[in-house]
């Protein structure tokens, strides 16, 4: 099992996208003009990077949706035998 303290590319992508949003909001607040439009135009690239990083991540949760309704709670699904 991988070390939990290891930072993956998914974590970097999520943190970078959050920082990107904060910078974008600050630019809007201070009326950044052309920089605002440049950041807006680059936002689909950031979203694509985050999505690809999440989908390529090797982490598999120990609780599956087939057995548990939530990953962070001990709520088990009720299997009535229909599927």
What is residue 1's predicted lDDT score, i.e. its pLDDT? 42
Q: CB of 35 within 8 A of CB of 67?
A: no
- pLDDT, averaged per 10 consecutive residues of the chain (83 residues), comes to 67 94 94 91 95 87 76 72 54
Q: What DSSP letter does each residue of the chain carry, written as one string?
A: ---TTPPPHHHHHHHHHHHHHHHHHHHHHTT-THHHHHHHHHHHHHHHHHHHHHHH-----SS-TTTBS-SSS--B----S--
What is residue 79's predicted lDDT score, i.e. its pLDDT? 67
């Amino acid at each position: 099992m991988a070390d939990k303290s290891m930072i993956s590319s998914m974590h970097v992508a999520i943190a970078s996208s959050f920082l990107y949003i904060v910078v974008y909001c600050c630019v809007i607040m201070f009326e950044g003009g052309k920089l605002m439009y440049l950041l807006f135009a680059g936002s689909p690239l950031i979203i694509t990077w985050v999505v690809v990083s999440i989908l390529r991540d090797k982490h598999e949760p120990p609780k599956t949706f087939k057995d548990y309704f939530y990953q962070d709670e001990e709520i088990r699904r009720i299997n009535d035998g229909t599927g």
